[in-house]
Amino acid sequence: MSDNSLLDQNTHFFGDVCKNFDYAAKFTKHDAGLLDQIRSCNSVYRFRFPIRRGNGFEVIDAWRVEHSHHQSPTKGGIRYSEFVNEDEVMALAALMTYKCAIVNVPFGGAKGGIRINPKSYSVQELENITRRYTVELIKKNFIGPSIDVPAPDYGTGEREMSWIADTYATMNPGQLDAMGSVTGKPIALHGIQGRREATGRGVAISIRECVGVAEDMQKLGLPTGISGKRIIVQGLGNVGFYTAKFLQEYGGVIVGICEFEGAIYNADGLDVEAVFQHRKATGSILGYAGAKQEFKNSGEGLEQPCDILVPAALENQITAENADRIQAKIIAEGANGPTTPEAEAIFYAKGGIIIPDMYANAGGVTVSYFEWLKNLSHVAFGRINRRFEENNNLNLVNMVEGITGISLTPAQRATIVKGSSELELVNSGLEDTMIRSYHEIRETYKLEKIDTLRTAAFVGAINKIAVSYQNLGVWP
């Protein structure tokens, strides 16, 4: 694709984010200059580099955007997709800034993108592309544990993060915190327990908190609690799969699953793990024996009867064209920007609630923060204090047994005495973050008489970022 055709693309994702920002800013009292600083992308790095393919070369388009430096380092994933463009990367970087503020994670927002279809390249070619991308970031000081910390996103995962970490460490010999230059790494390379499922777990917790508010459910005509709620999930990747899995564990009924090849539906419920294994074996969710309806057009799957819809794939999935046909009462945005502003207005006019992406999918960056802290401290969570906890708990059990004369079974003693593992501590921190943040957003929503949870989330984020900039001052 030529440079001119790139410029001619009709892109508006960043414009949609700014539109939401500007609307929310009306509920704040900050001056126009400060709001402009918060809204704007501070650094946009667009670059191209060649790789060898066969006997020739191919030129790769890539980006890294640092949206806000009110906190350091900046933080954001790297997306591998043939549809990546500058507007999208800017929008996702901006959303990362607001997302981190909403869940009180001390990072500025950033995002990266490489315009490739990963399926079209060999593993060796993907490694070459990833390492070259990392070197380009190093050359311009766009990566580092105290500068800018990437993470996985659409099209990338632990493997790519390992290559980035190794490249950064190689180019910075002797740097003690080199592994803190990227998160989402495998456990063997100083990753953290619970990171892989963190975003999906966070989405599930956000839904659980939303449906746990009796006042809001009464307005929707739904009973309180997740148990029995009918749920459609779009996307069976990392976020969608774990969201569906945890919602099912909470008592929700997954009635529909949508993927790019089509959608399946069963009003009595689908077995998420069985669907996942079927797709792994056949390459498609279609043909799954437990489905009562199939749709070749994936979009039709979004429009089936349900209480909760979880778009966990890509942006702009719910638009003005299909919003009226969405039958869900609640949309929980597992993906970034799946609902356009026009569609949101239509959905709220129908009496629905949207749990915004900036909050709902913040589980990933929250646990990435924990991984970054682990890398800087060079010790796993729970390693120092676990045995101390167990000894204290054992002394307490012995004392209670001595006072009451009641002896616990070995299994009961083991359950009570056991100290916290890294996974348990990570999940506890994630759950606490998601619970506190939801009710903080809802409090703003109620007190300020704001029309949507997204606007309330923006208002809270803008206020926090504004305080940071005001305290920092302007240099020189």
Angle of CA points 8, 14, 19, to nearest 5° = 120
Task: Output the CA–CA distances (angstroms, integers) from residue 44 to 63, 67, 108, 110, 152, in the order listed.
Answer: 7, 8, 14, 10, 19
Task: Output the CA–CA distances (angstroms, integers) from residue 371 to 111, 149, 153, 436, in the order listed.
Answer: 18, 11, 16, 20
Give the Cβ contact number of residue 66 at 10 Å. Answer: 26
Q: Is the pLDDT of residue 11 over 90?
A: no
Pick the closest to residue 312 from 323, 325, 298 (CA basis): 298
Q: Is the pLDDT of residue 315 over 90?
A: no
pLDDT at 146: 97
**Which residues does 475 contact at the CB level (< 8 Å), separation at least 6?**
none
**Which residues does 440 contact at the CB level (< 8 Å), separation at least 6?**
102, 460
pLDDT in tens, 321-338: 999 999 999 999 999 889
pLDDT at 9: 42
Q: Mean pLDDT, to the nearest integer, of 236-252?
A: 95
318 touches 347 (CB < 8 A): yes
Q: Is the pLDDT of residue 1 over 50?
A: no
Angle of CA points 164, 165, 167, to nearest 5° = 65
138 touches 176 (CB < 8 A): no
- Could you please report the per-residue DSSP string of 32-87? HHHHHHHHS-SEEEEEEEEEEETTEEEEEEEEEEE---SSSSEEEEEEE-TT--HH
* Banded model confidence at residue 5, pLDDT cuts 50, 70, 90: very low
User: Over the chain, what is the mean pLDDT?
Assistant: 94
Q: Is the pLDDT of residue 2 over 80?
A: no
What gap in Å lies between CA 110 and CA 367, rounded to an integer? 16
What gap in Å lies between CA 257 and CA 8, rounded to an integer? 35
What SS3 class is residue 114? strand
pLDDT in tens, 99-144: 999 999 999 999 999 999 999 999 999 999 999 999 999 999 999 9
What gap in Å lies between CA 223 and CA 274, rounded to an integer? 28
What gap in Å lies between CA 183 and CA 191, rounded to an integer? 7
Pick the closest to residue 440 from 93, 90, 206 (CA basis): 206
Q: Is the pLDDT of residue 47 over 50?
A: yes
Pick the closest to residue 328 from 229, 247, 252, 241 (CA basis): 229
Give the Cβ contact number of residue 273 at 10 Å. Answer: 12
**Which residues does 294 contact at the CB level (< 8 Å), separation at least 6?**
262, 263, 264, 265, 286, 287
Does 111 qualify as catalytic in the annotation?
yes
Strand order of the β-sheet with 353-355 is 293-295, 262-265, 253-259, 230-234, 308-311, 330-332, 353-355
Q: Mean pLDDT, to the nearest integer, of 268-293?
A: 95
β-pairing, 43-53 with 262-265?
Answer: unpaired
Q: Mean pLDDT, to the nearest integer, of 427-431?
A: 97
Q: Mean pLDDT, to the nearest integer, of 386-407?
A: 92
For 327, phi then psi, to 5°, come to: -95, -10
pLDDT at 12: 83
What SS3 class is residue 28? coil
pLDDT in tens, 142-195: 999 999 999 999 899 999 999 999 999 999 999 999 999 999 999 999 999 999
pTM score of the predicted model? 0.92
Among candidate residues 26, 75, 99, 111, the one labeled active-site is: 111
DSSP 179: G
Q: Extract the tokens encoding 32.
A: 């126009």
pLDDT at 3: 43
pLDDT at 476: 78
pLDDT at 314: 81
What gap in Å lies between CA 450 and CA 443, rounded to an integer? 10
What gap in Å lies between CA 425 and CA 240, rounded to an integer? 23
Q: Is the pLDDT of residue 4 over 70?
A: no
What gap in Å lies between CA 412 and CA 339, rounded to an integer? 48
Q: Is the pLDDT of residue 374 over 50?
A: yes
pLDDT in tens, 49-71: 999 998 899 999 999 999 999 99
% residues pLDDT > 70 (the chain) = 98
Task: Output the CA–CA distances (angstroms, integers) from residue 88 to 40, 160, 340, 360, in the order listed.
Answer: 14, 21, 14, 19
More confident residue, 1 or 429: 429
**Which residues does 458 contact at the CB level (< 8 Å), separation at least 6?**
20, 21, 23, 24, 25, 98, 358
* Total residues found in the chain within this entry: 476
